[in-house]
Each structure stands twice: as structure tokens, then as C-alpha cells.
Structure 1
Amino acid sequence: MAIVLVTGTSSGIGLATAVTLARAGHKVIATMRNLNSGGELERIVSAEKLSVTLARLNVDDDASVDTTIKKVIVDNGSIDVLVNNAGIGGGGSVEETPLAEFQEKMETNFFGALRCIQAVIPGMRERRQGCIVNVTSIAGRMALSPQAAYSASKFALEALSECLAQEMKAFNVRVAIIEPGVIATPIFGKAKPVREQSPYPHAKRQRALFTASLTKPTSPYVVGEQIRQIVDGNSEQLRYPVGPDAKPFLNWRASKTDEEIVAFGGATDDEFKRLAK
């Protein structure tokens, strides 16, 4: 049994990960900004009598991360596994996206994970054991408009994770990157309406792509199960594309030159449909 702290567990991948790990016999500290949003997780935990403790944690706040993680360590002796899942989505062209939205995504998706990492690695290093799982996205490997703000934050977390894995290798601490494709989570329901008068067609195209992908939805429990396999195993593999479309998307991007991707973004609607095939 491992002591696992998971961030962003009120819904989606975080909730599925917390439940999956608890069902596998691990003791899970399921964190979220607002404990009032943990109703679904509480119902599952109560019905199945799972070893899950809910805790308030705002990854954007230094004091919240410091206080919560110190308390978890005092109460449990250690944190064996950290799953950085908390994140926010949303898109928009570079011109039309306020600087504050770029900062917001970087604060949560990148600095939020970094805060939690820095809080747990001293103990893992000293014990010479542990596992850190960072949930990024295929958008952390392929940058397609209108996801500049989101992709930038996920690219940053990918780079951080790769450096961290090198640093922690000598201390027997594993680092893994989870790269989901299109997963059926509430993040899509929170998307802002597409700007009707925007000179940029990319948001409309992306929305159509997501809508098509979600006609055959992939459950977030697919991601939770992959994280469980990492936690229960001993693999040194760094990156894990997850979901039926993750590898195909990444393979498609790898098959294109940078110039072809630029042309793809600048295409007319008719050209876009042809190039997307």
C-alpha cells in the first residue's frame, strides 16, 4: 500500500485516478480547491468504503500547498506517490486571449505542479523511494492553434518532468508523464463559446474536432488505470500517451514538417478538411 496524494480530484481524471488507486488498495489523499465540489467522490468512497481522505489544496497558492502537504506527511509519515493532475483548459488565438488567461493557465498547470513537486521531493530523495506522475496532454507534445496558452503550460510541464526524471534517477524516484488524448471530462463543458466575429477560424475547427471525438467518449478511468499500473509497477518509462487517439495524433504530428503544420493552420476551411485527412 502506498500513500498517494492526487490533485484536482473533484471530477474527471483526478476523481477517476483517486478511485482507481483506492480500489487497488492504496491510501489516497484526494485534494481539490473547494471541498464542496467533492460530492461525487464522497459518494463513491462511502458506497465502496474506500481508503480516501479529502483535503483542501489550492495548487496556485504557496501557503495552501505547504500547509496541506506538511499535514499529510505528519498524519501519514510520508507521501509515496504524487499525482499532479490539477489543471485548467481553454483556448483562443494569441491576439484575442488576454495576458491574464495565459498567466492563469501557467500558474495552475505548470507552477501548481512545481509547487507540489518541490514540497514532496525532499522526503522522497531522503528515503530514496517515490513516484511522481505528472498529467500533461498530447497538447504538451504538439502545439496546434488555438491552444497557445494551454499548450505552452503543458509543454513547460513536459520539460520540467524530463529534467526532474534525470535528477531523481540517482535517488530511486521514478517520474512519469501521462499524455491523455481527448478524454470525456467536464473540462469540455467549461469551454467558452467560440467568438462569432473572430478573424481566426481555429477555435471553430477545434470545437468540431472535439465534438467528433466525444461521440465515442473515452472514460477518464482509462487514464486512472494507466496511472495505477505505473504506481503498482516499476517501469522507468517516462512518457505514456493515453487514450485511443493519443498515439495516432502524435504519430500524425511526427509525420508532418513544421512548415506543413504552419500551412495546416493557415489553410482555408476547404483546404483544412483536405489536409486534416
Structure 2
Amino acid sequence: MPLVHVLMENDMARILVTGARRGIGREITLILGRAGHEVIASMRDPSGCDLANIAAQEGLAISLAALDVDDDASVAALFAKPSMVSVDVLINNAGILSMNALEDESLATMQAVMNTNFFGPVRCMKAVIPAMRERGSGLIINISSISGRMAIFAQSAYGPSKFALEAVSEIAAQELAPFGVRVALVEPDITATDMTMADLPQPRADSDYASGRRMLALNADSDKATPPAMVAGAVLDIVSGRNTAFRTPVGYNAQMFIDMRARMGDAAWIGMNDTLDDGEFVARMTAAMQG
């Protein structure tokens, strides 16, 4: 089986980033542009995006493109452009979040989250894979989450979407390796973006479940949240070839949470949240984190 091609430090790539208007996607776009790569920053509506002004001021090869990863026609329209055939790297970053217990979450919301977080990356992957396979090189980076490695209460829509993204990424990595195309996952923990801080979705206020309130508390301390620039730096390491791992957890607590879940049996993990008393829950979580 041939080795999967990786970009080296001096290779300049043509890169497409989805969900680039703000947060992690914006930081990825800037760090890659400043590293000398040509970046297509895609988003649903590019109007008013400050990336164009930053690119002009700094002389960066960043261009904006309209793309709604939820929509088959939008994906087809962008990738039908001749310039898209030469995309070296696809970074699937666009994502949405919801926070509710399973009983409280609507099917419509679960379908919407799955459409953006799972089918969106799949649409884009299927659009770039043929050209990458034919030329024998390419890189696909899917921005997942530690929630794709451990099922966490109150993430009845978000968690399954990230588990599905992890699975399809691992399948694609196996299938594409013989053709010289690499697939990689980046798994941030709680990241200081609008989606997880200022615009954090609220669980049902009248819920009988404590899980939503507890998840809000875990997200409330922005001082402990991972900066989006840290996630972008991890992406740059993968693009440059400095990091060749399939999975890359990113954040102050990412590996700790993953290790905690790995060493706990299913009964212990489920039992941690089987109390309606917040104090008892916090004690259990603290003990688990301390190992």
C-alpha cells in the first residue's frame, strides 16, 4: 500500500474551509493564509465578512465563497467551478450545537444538527474525493469534538452527529489511503467561540432533567475554554505534515476527558449522572477527573 501523501513545510496548498465566518473556521482561515496557503473561506453568506479586509491589508491569498453545507445544490454549485478541482485540502469545520435531553429534543432539531454536522461534511467529502483519488494526493480534515469520543449527557443531537462524523472519517481514511489521500480528525474540547459561549443554546427551562443545567455549568467558565487559535494551530500542524496522526484531541482538558471515559466502565460512566442532586454529581465528576 503506498504511503499517504502529506504536505511538507514548504508546500503551499489550495485549501477550502467551511464555516469560516467566525470562531474556529475564521482562525483556521487566518493561520493558514498567514502561513502562505491559498485559502477559500466558505460560509452561507460572505457579505460583511471581515476576512476580505484582513486579507487585503495583509496581502493574504484568502478568497470568500458562498456555501451552505446543508444544501445539495449549494455544494454542487461551488464544486462545479473549475477552480475547485485543484483543491488540495478540505477542512470540514461548519457545525451547529443543540443542548437538550433526548426526551426534550425535537426530531426536527436532531435532523438539522445531523444534516449540518454529519451530512454537510459528507457532501463536501464526496465532492472532492474523485479529483483527489485520481491525482493520488489530498488531505481532508474533519473538525469533530471530544463529544465524538464520549457520549455526554444533554448532547442528544450534537453527540450522535460527531460520533457519526468520526465513523465516516475512519472509513474514508481506510478507503482512501491506497490512493494517497489522507483523512484526519481534530477533536476540540469546550472551545471559546460564540457557539459555545455567547450564543450557547439553552436547554428547555421546564425540563425534568438536570443534565442541561449541568452542561451549561461546564460551559460557563470561559477562562478554562480552549482558544480557537489553539485548534487552528493543530490544523496547521496537520496541513504542514508535522502531525500525521489520524485523531488529534485539542484543548486544555481534551485528553483528560477522553482518558477519563476510557478508564471508566459503562456502568460507572452512566452512574455518574444518575442523580438529580447537583452536589453529588459534582463530587462524582471531580473524583472521576482526578482518576
TM-score interval (norm. to shorter) = over 0.9
How many residues align structurally?
273
The match for 1:128 is: 136
Which of 90, 102, 112 is the equivalent residue of 2:98? 90
Which of 170, 181, 190 is the equivalent residue of 1:182? 190
The match for 2:46 is: 35
1:127-180: CA deviation from partner (whole Å, max 9, x where unpaired): 000000000000000111100110000000000000000001101111100000
Moved more, 222-231 or 126-135: 222-231
The structural deviation recorded for 1:49 is 1.6
The structural deviation recorded for 1:215 is 2.1
The match for 2:66 is: 56
- 1:169 correspondence with 2:185: no
AA at the equivalent of 1:256: M
More helix by share: 1
Unpaired runs of 5+ residues, structure 1, are none
The match for 1:12 is: 23
Looking at structure 1, the residues matched to 199 and 39 of structure 2 have their Cα atoms a distance apart, in angstroms, of: 27
- 1:260 correspondence with 2:268: yes
**What's the Cα RMSD here?**
1.3
The structural deviation recorded for 1:82 is 0.2
Which of 156, 161, 166 is the equivalent residue of 2:164? 156
The structural deviation recorded for 1:47 is 2.2
Looking at structure 2, the residues matched to 274 and 76 of structure 1 have their Cα atoms a distance apart, in angstroms, of: 52
Moved more, 264-273 or 104-113: 264-273
Question: Cα gap change, 1:21/1:149 in structure 2, threshold over 3 Å: closer, same or farther?
Answer: same
TM-score (norm 1): 0.95
Give SS of 1:148's match: coil
1:61-112: CA deviation from partner (whole Å, max 9, x where unpaired): 11111110221xx136511000000000121011111100000000000000
Give SS of 1:35's match: coil
Unpaired runs of 5+ residues, structure 2, are 1-11, 287-291
The structural deviation recorded for 1:217 is 3.8
- 1:26 correspondence with 2:55: no
Question: Cα gap change, 1:235/1:270 in structure 2, threshold over 3 Å: closer, same or farther?
Answer: closer
